[in-house]
Amino acid sequence: MSGNESCIVRHFKHYGPLSESDTKLLQALEKEPISGTSGQTLWEEGDKAGEICTIKSGWAYSYRNIDDGTRQVLDVFLPGDIVGLREFAFKERMSGIKLLTDSVICRFPHNHLIDIFRDSTKLTTIFFSISARQQTLLTERLVNLGRRNAFEKTAHLVYELYMRLKRTNPELGNSFELPLSQQIIADALGLSAVHVSRTFSELREENMICRERNHVTLLDIERLESVIGFSKAYLQEQDYLSYVS
Amino acid sequence: MSGNESCIVRHFKHYGPLSESDTKLLQALEKEPISGTSGQTLWEEGDKAGEICTIKSGWAYSYRNIDDGTRQVLDVFLPGDIVGLREFAFKERMSGIKLLTDSVICRFPHNHLIDIFRDSTKLTTIFFSISARQQTLLTERLVNLGRRNAFEKTAHLVYELYMRLKRTNPELGNSFELPLSQQIIADALGLSAVHVSRTFSELREENMICRERNHVTLLDIERLESVIGFSKAYLQEQDYLSYVS
DNA sequence: GTCCACAGATAACATGGGTTATGTGATTTA
DNA sequence: TAAATCACATAACCCATGTTATCTGTGGAC
C-alpha cells in the first residue's frame, strides 16, 4: 500500500505529514472500493444520506434538477475528492451524483466520521479544512455565475479544473482529458449548450483554449488568468498541523 | 447569562442539548464583544485570516470585488451566524465583510477552534454540521444564479432570508425588516439594480412580496414556494448528537 | 458495411435583462 | 429652510444569450 499510496491519503498529505495511526484511520476510508461505470447514478436528490464517499479513481458530478426540466451542475469531482460532505447535517441528499467516467468509489458512513472526530484532532482539522475549501470553491463559482459573461465563465471552469488537477498532479502539462460534454458544461455555467459551443469556438479563435473531443489544451495560460481575474490567494493554504501535533 | 442566553449558544442548541462544559466552551466564543456601525468594514479581501466571528446582533454581508468594478455578494449573515469559517483553510480572506446594521461581533481565533476539536466531539460535530449547512446554502444560491430568472431569483432571496430568520425566531410572522438596498440585492443575484427595482414592482403587482423601505411583507407564501420550487428537504436536518454523547 | 444515436457546429431569430437617462420623494447637512 | 445626497421608479434602447432548426462527423450495434 505504501508504494501504491491510496488516493485519499495522498489528498490528506497535501495538508501535512500524517502519523502511522492517522494514516491507518484514514485508510479505513477506502475499504471496500466499488467500481461504477460512466453515466451511472450514485444517488439521487431525496435519497437517504448517511455516508460520504471518496473517489479513488474517475470523475463525477453533482447536480440539482429544476422544475422546468433544466438542471444545475453543482460540483465536478476529481480523483481523491470527497463527495457528500455537505449532507453531513441533513437526512436527505440535496443533489444527485453521476459518474463521468468509469470510477472506483469508497463509501464511508457518517458515524465513522464522528469516530475520527473523537480519535484524531489532526484528521478532524484536515476534514474541516477540506469542508472549508469546498466552500471556497463554491463561492468562486458563485462569482462565476453572478458576474461573468459566457466567455469568462467557460475560461474559468476549464482553468479551475486545470488548477485542481495540478494540485494533486504537479507534473501536469498544459493539456488534459476533460470528460464533460458541452451540455454538462452548460448546466454547470447556467448557459445553453448551443452557447457553450459558440464560446469554445471563440476561445479557439482567440488562441486561448482548444477543446477537441474530451481533450483540452490551454494555449495561453497568462491570458486565461487575466481574463478571469485570477488571484493566487486561494492557493495560499493554511498549515495548522504543526499546531495540532 | 442563562436568562439572556447567548446567541451562539442558542444557535448551537438548535442542533441538540448541550452539557454544562460544552456550554462553557461555547460561551468563550462570545468573549469580548465589539460593536460596529452600519456600513463598517470588518475585513477586506486579502487581509490576513486568523479568526472566525460570531454575530451577536445585527446583519452583515460578504462580497468579492470584480475587476470590472462590479461585485458579487456571497452571503448575508444574520444574528447568531458564524462568519469566516470558510477561510479556516487559508491564510488570507477570500472576501470582504461589511455590516448592514449596527452590530455586535465576537472574534475567535482559529487556534481556539482546534482546541474545541480536541476537547469536545459534540461541539466539533456541530461545527462540522454548520460548515456543511453553509455549503448547502451556497449550492442553493448556485442554483438560483444559474437557472432562475430575475423574478424567481428575487423571490428566492427574500424567501431564503425569511426561512433563516424563522429558524431562530419561530414566532416570526409574514413580515420582517430587510436592511438590504436594491444595489446589494442586485450584487447578490447577479442583476442590475435597475432590474431589481423592476422585479420588486412586478412582485408587488403579483401580490407576492411587498417591499417598502427596509421592510418586506410576504403576501402569498404558498405561491412564493411554488415559484421557487421550494422543497422542504433542506430543513430535514440530521441529529447526530445522540450518537456523540 | 449499414444503420443509428449522439455530440457538436452553425445560422436565424427572439427575448430577458443591461445600460443610460431622467424624475421623485426622503433624509441628511449646512 | 435650502441644498445636497441617496434610494428608488420608470422609460427607451441595445446586446448577450436563449431557442429552434439543420447539418456534420464519430462511434457503437448488429
Helix (H) or strand (E) holding A137: helix A121-147
The span from the CA of A143 to the CA of A147, in Å, is 6
**B81 CB contacts (<8 Å, ≥6 apart)?**
B11, B54, B55
Closest CA–CA distance from residue B137 to any residue of chain A (Å): 10
pLDDT score, position B100:
95
Asked if strand D comes closer than 7 Å to B198 Cβ, the answer is yes
Contact list, B126 vs chain A (CB under 8 Å): none
The cell for A184 is: 454538462
pLDDT score, position A99:
95
In the block, residue with C-alpha cell 475528492: A81
Say yes or no for a CB contact (<8 Å) between A88 and B128.
yes
pLDDT score, position A245:
58
Asked if strand D comes closer than 7 Å to B187 Cβ, the answer is no
Residue of B nearest to A93 (CA): B233
pLDDT score, position B156:
96
Sheet holding B215-218, edge to edge: B175-177, B215-218, B209-212
Say yes or no for a CB contact (<8 Å) between A89 and B138.
no
Residue B211: which region, alpha, beta or left (left: phi > 0; alpha: psi -120 to 50)?
beta
pLDDT score, position A3:
38
**A64 CB contacts (<8 Å, ≥6 apart)?**
A45, A71, A72, A74, A94, A95, A96, B139, B143
Among all strands, which nt has the closest C1' to A195 (CA)? D17
Splitting chain A (245 residues) into consecutive groups of 10 residues, what average pLDDT does each group show? 61 84 83 88 92 92 93 95 92 93 91 91 94 94 96 96 90 94 97 97 95 92 90 63 66
The cell for B177 is: 425588516
Say yes or no for a CB contact (<8 Å) between A129 and B88.
yes
Longest dimension (CA), chain B: 55
Distance A208 CA to D10 C1' (A): 42
Say yes or no for a CB contact (<8 Å) between A233 and B45.
yes
Comparison of pLDDT for A242 and B170, the residue scoring more = B170
pLDDT score, position B232:
63
Distance A197 CA to D24 C1' (A): 14
Give the closest of A139, A189, A244 to B138, CB-based: A139
Evaluate if residue B234 carries a pLDDT over 70: no
Say yes or no for a CB contact (<8 Å) between A236 and B110.
no
What amino acid occupies position B179? Answer: P
Helices (H), chain B: 7-13, 20-27, 110-119, 121-147, 150-168, 182-189, 193-205, 221-227, 241-244
For A161-198, b where at least 16 C-beta lie within 10 A, e where not — what string? bbebbeeeeeeeeeebebbbebebbbbbbbbeeeebee
The span from the CA of B187 to the CA of B197, in Å, is 13
Helices (H), B48-109: none
In the block, residue with C-alpha cell 431569483: B153
Q: Are B153 and B191 in contact (CB under 8 A)?
A: yes
Asked if strand D comes closer than 7 Å to B197 Cβ, the answer is yes
Strand partners, A72: A64
| pLDDT (average), residues B60-71 | 93
Asked if strand D comes closer than 7 Å to B147 Cβ, the answer is no
pLDDT in tens, B125-156: 999 999 999 999 999 999 999 999 999 999 99
In the block, residue with C-alpha cell 431562530: B168
Instruction: Report the 3 state secondary structure along B176-216.
Output: EECCCCHHHHHHHHCCCHHHHHHHHHHHHHCCCEEEECCEE
In the block, residue with C-alpha cell 477506502: A30
Percent of chain B with pLDDT over 70: 93
Q: Are B107 and B34 in contact (CB under 8 A)?
A: yes
Closest CA–CA distance from residue B119 to any residue of chain A (Å): 9
Nucleotide D21: closest residue by CA–C1': A194
Delineate the domains of chain B, giving CATH numbers in brackets. Answer: 7-140 (2.60.120.10), 149-235 (2.60.120.10)
pLDDT score, position A204:
95
pLDDT in tens, B2-59: 335 677 787 788 788 888 888 888 887 777 789 999 999 999 999 999 899 999 899 9
**A116 CB contacts (<8 Å, ≥6 apart)?**
A25, A123, A124, A127
pLDDT band at B211, cuts 50/70/90?
very high
